[in-house]
Chain A
Amino acid sequence: MTFIQVEFLAFLAVVFTVYWALGRRLWQNIFLVVASAVFYGWVHPWFLILLYVSAIVDYFGALGMERWPHRKGLVLLVSIGTNTAILGYYKYFDFFVVNVAAALDALGVHNSLQPLGILLPPGISFYTFQSMAYSIDVYRGELRPRKHVLDYMLAVSLFPHLVAGPVQRASNLLLQAETRRTFDLAMVRSGFALAMWGAFKKVVVADTVSPYVDKIFGLREPAAPMIWAATLGFAVQILADFSGYTDVARGVARMLGFELMENFKNPYLATNPSEFWRRWHVSFSSWIRDYLFIPLGGSRGGLWATTRATFGAMLISGLWHGASWNFVIWGGYHAALITGYRLVTPLIPASLRKGPLGRPGAVVIMFFFTCLGWLLFRETDGAALWGHLTRSPLGVTDDQWVATVTMLSITAAAATPLVLGLLVQRYLIPRIEGSAGYLPLQTTVWAAFAASMFFFGRMSAMDFIYFQF
């Protein structure tokens, strides 16, 4: 089940009603664990086994670390090993097999290695990382292991954040699971508004621009301006898609009294690579920082040590996003950006950096580099990627310019609501929030969002096949 299906609306309505009607925390927690199991197991019930295996191993592992502190290193190893084994098998096994087979072929060693076509369980990258974070926090002494398995299971499997994040820290969700939650209309309204905005971004913005992007990337040799226009479109698409999903997750969680961490903070307004990762997928990048970058040495050592830690963390970060070399290259690219920024920044005159055009210029330059990274992210075919990067911008036909302008027009139209939303949230809402007219305006906007989602929603995958550019 996904957030933009009709079934989810019915599911949420039932869960919301029963949850708040139950009143007591114990019954609420039980109910949410069951509801989360229903949500996650809706399409493939056996995926629940993986989720619970991961959770149970870490639950008992944490208890084991407390009971046998002299063995806690080994226990941590078991926890991390189990989670990475689950993740490695379901997400990366076929990738591994394909690459080994290719390497053997290149060496002239005939082999019959074939990928298994393993189905990827939804959310596996998220909940395994969350579980590992719990074990690591317990190991470090930053968190006490939980005795109440119910609260723990709720923190791991709470359905709003289960399949698309944000990657929650155990400390955040565990405390909330163990705390009584009372009904607050303002909180529910705020959560509903956030969820509606997230769904709008996903259905109206992202799903409108994505067929155009796919169409251009599907060409054998798209002209250079076309591919850059499509990359710009993809930048809008992925922000709207991903931030939309997490806004729905946060909004729904808030309606149930849980606060999930903010995951996107206007990332395209970043002025440098490090700031970008403090604004983009914040929950994940902070996880990488705390559990990979810092253990690898962080920035405590010299330049070489820091660079090594940066590349190590970002390459794994890239691989986490998908089982394909282009994601690894994308991670390495961002590592190079971060490292390069560290090296280059001292060379830029302070007067330039701090002048009136300093920040806007930095935003534009960083956005350019971000889009270049999205090209690496989007294109999974190495030969095609090389072609995109090396294709001459000259000799573009008139027809190709038409396609370019079409892509740019659709991107501009799709991005307009995002920009307006940012401006409204920053400048308008604070002014009118307490006024009498705010509520009717808000509900009318919700109705407009719903109408827009009905208008733009695509009922089936075949809509994309029959789409006309």
Chain B
Amino acid sequence: MKHAGVRVVAALAAVVGPLLVVVSLAAVLTRPEDAVERALAPAAKELDKRIAHGADVVLLGNSKVGTDLDPDTIAELFATPARVVPMHVKGTGMPVWYTVLRERVYAGGHAPRLVVVYATALMMAQTSLPTAAQRAQLDQQVGAPDPVLDHKVRGEAFADPRIQVALRRRGAWRQALTDGIRDLGVGLALAPAGEGGARERGRAYAAPALARVFDGDANQRAPQRRVVPVVEAEVADADGAVRLHDTLIPDLVALAYAHGAQVLFVRSPMPDGRREEDTVPAAFEDELIAWLASVGAGYVDLRDADLAASHYGGVHLSRAGRARLAPQLNAALRSVGVGTGRLVPAAPPARRVALTGVRAGTPPALPALELRDLPPPCVWQAPVRGLAGLSDAWLVEADLGEVSPVRVLQDGRPLTPHARVGGQACEGTTDFGLGGVRISPTDPDAATRDTFTLELDPAVPMRGGTGGEAWWVYPGTELTVTVPAGTVTGARRLRVQAIATEGGTGGELSILGGEAAPLRAVGSTVEAVVTAPATAGEWTFTVRSPVGGPWLVLRRVVTGTEAEPVRLIGPPDVAVTVDLTRDATFAAPPPGLVSPEAAPAPTRTADLYAWNVAHLGVPSLPEVFDQAGMGCSPLELLAGGTPAREQLGDDRKPLARLLHAGDVARISVRPGEVPVAGQYALRLEPTRRCKESLWLYPGDEVRLQATPAQLAALAGGATTLELGANAFRGTGTLHLRLEADGVAPIEQAVPLSSLPLGPIVLDGVVGPDAASAVLTLRLESDDAYVLFTSVVLAEPVRPALGANP
């Protein structure tokens, strides 16, 4: 009996034990989330606010929509005023965008004419919600259960919202656990002694250190295939071919069509070094384009937009990049019928032609290095005279990116070029700025022990700091490029455009079996065009630079015919522009301090910020902020009479951060601090600069000048003036007068309501030989503010295979 009783108890325990484990875990994981856990930006409310006044066009996507696209520029495509509303959500993918369209746009009773999805192809195809934040974002947007989401995103087995909560929570706990192990290890082994336990010290020490090690394009190799070869089951299943109808693309299109809208997918540009983050199988891409064409939806591929590395901040475009992209985007949108009421199928994107190159000849010897010790530890500098045009700084300025061919060898071993120099430790890196090369050797004694020399990168093509390709032709060498068979059929022209960064003149282009032509200066480039008869197989062309000739980097190489050009190297031609905002001289200083109203005691605003925030009323500046969400305010925060720079407080939360939105300026303060007690004040920022933009305050007058060097970049001369600007609050008139060599090709007064303006056709041409071009802008208004994002003189786009100049 006793034994039987024990067996019964054991059997019961064998069932109860595991049940307890499972039930307890399930209970904890699936309990409703509290406000802290769900504390995210109130995306749903924010989106509802954006579309509150309706929309003709909605822009869906992630943060790239906010940084890369200018809704006002897109609105210009439409004959009647169109309201273009960005409905993007940061850090999200297609599942959220589909839900935004369903829940925020259509469920809100709006009926846009056009739905634009702007993203990488990878994000368009996304059906998973890989991060807790994305899952939370989706939950914030979702209303009624959606069978599409249940099937394609959650999987039908997981339609239950409690399971979603559990999955979300376990992701956070898992990361917290592994982070805790990391922090404990680092805290015990490495973190400096200080307050707090080992884990706290480890956490503060580990995160920034690991970011420096792993972040940054220069640190990463191309993504490697996951290596588990012995278990072939995973290899086959990991093939994971992306199929169009498994994605949410057809569902989004169907949803838009059901509400009478057109749909356009725009594949966003990515910086050269991060293109691999938008890799989808070619078969999927072809399937996508063909299917969209078959259903009458649009597709535009902007991956080859004319954007340099300097136009990006990470994967996002800078303000200059956005201005650069805007005309290209509009041209692309126009080509697929946006604004005409009917979208037309886009041409399939041209595949990059796989070129190979060989260099022959002896390049010039590079000068010896004379190292000087600089104040930061382990940083040495050496001037490199006569080769400033080979520096990354010069090349970035020329929109070529970090493609300097100069490498530094330490005892014959190349140091990492285009890299960060100036940290506390010796890192074996170099950079080449306008002042010469800076070197961080591999160890502190290297500078005195080892030999440092310069060499030219022998690779053809060379890969630069952000992964961009560069085809260099050094003086005294020739570069022969092989074009695969079948690239062009029939007789063809070949146009080579290069930038001469340094050195003398000269250079020649020749094509196998065809003619040769000298490279001639055209604006800021050198060019040649040759013709050749048809050839069936592969063919070559050669670019030579004579001894003592120029250092050339190929900017653009196009072949084929004018009707069917084939770009071999470089981006498509765009209009050459001259940015006039670089040199701005204001007639008078700005008005004085802006008096804030007395504010209530600092409050904690839990819905938006995690730190103490004080609100300052700024009644004289209502609605003066960058509506594109870029955070450009004319206000500057003063602390104790001097400009306040953002700093970290004792609890590592930001202080003295100013957020100006409408008639409220929020600043972060220490707990208990009263901001309006004399130490904080606001004024209009005297330089009027905000990133790459320029403010005009009421009554301001500014002279914007182009230098002769800038004007020389215009091959044929500028024929249009474009003003990218937004006017805020109030009415007024903007007087503009352009003078070039004493002649005024344009002078007019425009109402602020007509901004942005352009392109304005000039009465005449501002040629490359002009000694000066000055644009005077005068704002006649007592209360209006104008933010200029771009002021450019532009020349027309040249034909792809233009004749010899």
A contact residues vs B (CB 8 Å cutoff)? 1-3, 6, 43-44, 47, 110, 112, 119-126, 163-164, 208, 210, 214-215, 217-221, 238, 241-242, 245, 281, 321-322, 327, 378, 380-381, 384, 392, 394-395, 397-403, 405-406, 408-410, 412-413, 436-437, 439-444, 446-448, 450-451, 454-456, 459-466, 468-469
Q: Give the nearest-CB partner of B485 in chain A.
A: A112
* Contact assessment for A398 and B22 in the assembled complex, using a CB-CB cutoff below 8 Å: no
Whether B237 lies near A409 (C-beta < 8 A) is no
Of B219-227, B517-525, B567-575, the one contacting chain A is B219-227
B233 x A444 contact (CB < 8 A): no
Among A242, A401, A408, A448, contact of B21 (Cβ-Cβ < 8 Å):
A448
| Least CB separation from A121: chain B residue | B236
Cα separation A463 to B167 with both chains bound (whole Å): 13
Chain B residues within CB distance 8 Å of chain A: 6-7, 9-11, 13-22, 25, 126, 128, 130-131, 157, 167, 170, 173-175, 178-179, 181-182, 184-186, 189-190, 205-206, 209-210, 212-214, 218-221, 223-224, 226-240, 416, 423, 425-428, 442-443, 485, 538
Are B128 and A460 in contact, with the CB atoms below 8 A? yes
C-alpha gap A112/B206 in the complex (Å):
49
**Cβ contact within 8 Å between A410 and B22:** no
Q: Which residues of A contact B442 (CB under 8 A)?
A: 392, 395
CB contacts (< 8 Å) of B170 on chain A: these are: 454-455
| B181 contact set on A, CB distance < 8 A | 409-410, 413
Is the Cβ of A322 less than 8 Å from the Cβ of B237? Answer: no
Which of B189, B221, B485 is A219 in contact with, Cβ under 8 Å? B221
Contacts of B18 in A (CB 8 A): 443-444, 446-447
**CA of A210 to CA of B178 in the docked complex: distance in angstroms?**
13
* In contact, B233 and A242 (Cβ under 8 angstroms): no
In Å, the complex CA distance between A459 and B16 comes to: 29
B182 touches A395 (CB 8 A): no
Q: Which of A163, A398, A410 contacts B233 (CB 8 A)?
A: A163
B186–A406 CB distance below 8 A: yes
Whether B130 and A241, one on each chain, are in contact in the complex, defined by CB atoms closer than 8 angstroms, is: no
Q: A199 CA to B116 CA in the complex, in Å?
A: 44
A-B contact pairs, 8 of them (CB 8 A): A122-B235, A210-B226, A413-B181, A437-B13, A440-B16, A440-B17, A455-B174, A460-B128
Provide the bound-state CA to CA distance between A87 and B17, in Å.
Answer: 48
A380, A395, A408, A456: the one contacting B428 at CB < 8 Å is A395
Chain B nearest Cβ from A279, distance in angstroms: 16
When the two chains form their complex, are residues B232 and A125 in contact, meaning their CB atoms are under 8 A apart? yes
Cα distance A405–B227 when bound, in Å? Answer: 23
Q: Are B209 and A469 in contact (CB under 8 A)?
A: no
Contact of A395 among B128, B131, B423, B443 (CB under 8 A): B443
Q: A120-B236, A447-B18 are in contact. Are A6 and B157 (CB under 8 A)?
A: yes
CB distance from B488 to the nearest CB of A (A): 17
CB distance from B678 to the nearest CB of A (A): 43
Q: Contact: A164 with B232, CB < 8 Å?
A: yes
The one of A110, A242, A410, A465 that contacts B178, using a Cβ cutoff of 8 Å: A410
CB contact under 8 A between A450 and B223, given known A402-B210, A405-B185:
no
With A221-B416, A443-B17, A462-B126 as contacts: A409 and B231 at CB distance below 8 Å: no
Complex Cα distance, B230 from A395, in Å, reads 36
A112 to B257, CA, bound (A): 46
A241 proximity list for chain B (CB < 8 A): 228, 231
B213 touches A403 (CB 8 A): yes
Partner of B232, one of A120, A399, A406, A446: A120
Q: A119-B239, A409-B184 are in contact. Are A447 and B22 (CB under 8 A)?
A: yes
**B190 — which chain A residues lie within 8 A by C-beta?**
398, 401-402, 405
In the bound complex, CA of A443 to CA of B21 (Å):
10
Which chain A residues border B218 with CB–CB below 8 Å?
Answer: 220
A321 and B229 within 8 A (CB): yes
Given contacts A122-B235, A219-B220, A397-B427, contact A451 B229 (CB under 8 A): no
Task: Tell me if B234 and A2 are in contact (CB < 8 A).
Answer: yes
Please, how many angstroms separate the alpha-carbon atoms of A398 and B378 in the complex? 14
> Quick check: A447 and B157 within 8 Å, CB to CB?
no
CB-CB under 8 A for A394 and B443, given A43-B236, A215-B214: yes
With A455-B170, A463-B130: A380-B224 Cβ-Cβ less than 8 Å: yes
Contacts of A466 in B (CB 8 A): 130-131
Interface-central residue, B22, B184, B185, B423, by most chain A CB under 10 Å: B185
| Contact assessment for B167 and A455 in the assembled complex, using a CB-CB cutoff below 8 Å | no
Tell me the bound Cα distance from A463 to B230 in angstroms: 22
Contact A217 B14 (CB under 8 A): no
CB <8 Å contact, B130 and A2 = no
Give the most central of B17, B170, B206, B425: most A CB within 10 Å.
B17
State how many angstroms separate the Cβ of B683 from the closest Cβ of chain A.
Answer: 40
The one of A405, A443, A464 that contacts B14, using a Cβ cutoff of 8 Å: A443
Q: List chain B residues, Cβ under 8 A from A378.
A: 227
With A401-B190, A461-B238, A469-B214 as contacts: A409 and B224 at CB distance below 8 Å:
no
- Expressed in whole angstroms, the minimum distance between the Cβ of A418 and any Cβ of chain B is 16
Bound complex: CA of A126 vs CA of B22, how far in Å? 37
A402 touches B230 (CB 8 A): no
Please measure, in the bound complex, the distance between the C-alpha atom of A238 and the C-alpha atom of B14, giving whole angstroms.
33
* A448-B21, A451-B25, A469-B214 as given contacts; A403 in contact with B232, CB under 8 Å: no
B171 nearest CB neighbor, chain A only: A463
User: Closest residue of chain A to B241, judged by CB?
Assistant: A119
Q: Are A122 and B236 in contact (CB under 8 A)?
A: yes
Partner of B182, one of A406, A436, A447: A406
Closest Cβ neighbor of B15 among chain A residues: A443
With A120-B236, A436-B7 as contacts: A219 and B219 at CB distance below 8 Å = yes
CB proximity of A371 to chain B, nearest CB, Å? 16
Report chain B residues within 8 Å CB of A451.
21-22, 25
Q: Which residues of A contact B15 (CB under 8 A)?
A: 443
Measured CB to CB, the closest approach of chain B to A155, in angstroms, equals 19
Cβ contact within 8 Å between A436 and B184: no
Q: Which single member of A214, A218, A395, A444 contacts B17 (CB below 8 Å)?
A: A444
Q: Which residue on A lies nearest to B16, using beta carbons? A: A440
The chain B residue with its CB closest to the CB of A397 is B425
Q: Indicate if the CB atoms of B231 and A245 lie closer than 8 Å.
A: yes
With A and B bound together, what is the CA distance between A272 and B236 in angstroms? 34
Q: Give CA–CA (A464, B227) in the complex, Å.
A: 13
Task: Contact check, B226 vs A436: say whether CB atoms are below 8 A apart.
Answer: no
- Contact yes or no, B182 A384, CB < 8 A: no
Residues of B within 8 A of A3 (CB): 233
Contacts of B428 in A (CB 8 A): 395
Q: A122-B236, A437-B13, A443-B15 are in contact. List 18 more A-B contacts (CB 8 A).
A: A2-B237, A124-B232, A125-B232, A214-B224, A219-B220, A220-B221, A395-B426, A397-B423, A402-B186, A402-B206, A405-B189, A406-B210, A410-B178, A440-B10, A444-B18, A446-B18, A462-B128, A462-B130
Structural contact, A164 and B231, CB atoms closer than 8 A: yes
Q: Is the CB of A164 within 8 A of B11?
A: no
Q: How far is the CB of A50 from chain B (nearest CB, A)?
A: 12
Closest to B208 in A: A399
Which of B167, B175, B206 gathers most chain A CB within 10 Å? B206
Q: Which of B9, B20, B25, B423 contacts A436 (CB 8 A)?
A: B9
4 nearest CB pairs, A to B: A409-B185, A447-B18, A440-B13, A444-B17
Residue contact B14 to A442, C-beta cutoff 8 Å: yes
The answer to whether A400 and B235 touch across the interface, beta carbons within 8 angstroms, is: no
Residues of B within 8 A of A447 (CB): 17-19, 21-22
- Distance in angstroms between the alpha carbons of A393 and B214 in the assembled complex: 19
A219 CA / B128 CA spacing, docked (Å): 26
Q: Which residues of A contact B175 (CB under 8 A)?
A: 468
Bound together, the chains give a CA A203 to CA B262 distance in angstroms of 45
With known contacts A444-B18, A463-B130, A122–B185 Cβ distance under 8 A: no
Q: Whose C-beta in chain A lies nearest to the C-beta of B134?
A: A466
- In the complex, which residue of chain B has the Cβ closest to the Cβ of A451? B25
Closest chain B residue, CB of each to CB of A242: B230
| Given A392-B442, A397-B427, A443-B18, residue A44 in contact with residue B182 (CB < 8 A) | no
A219 touches B17 (CB 8 A): no
Assembled-state Cα–Cα distance A120/B236 (Å): 6
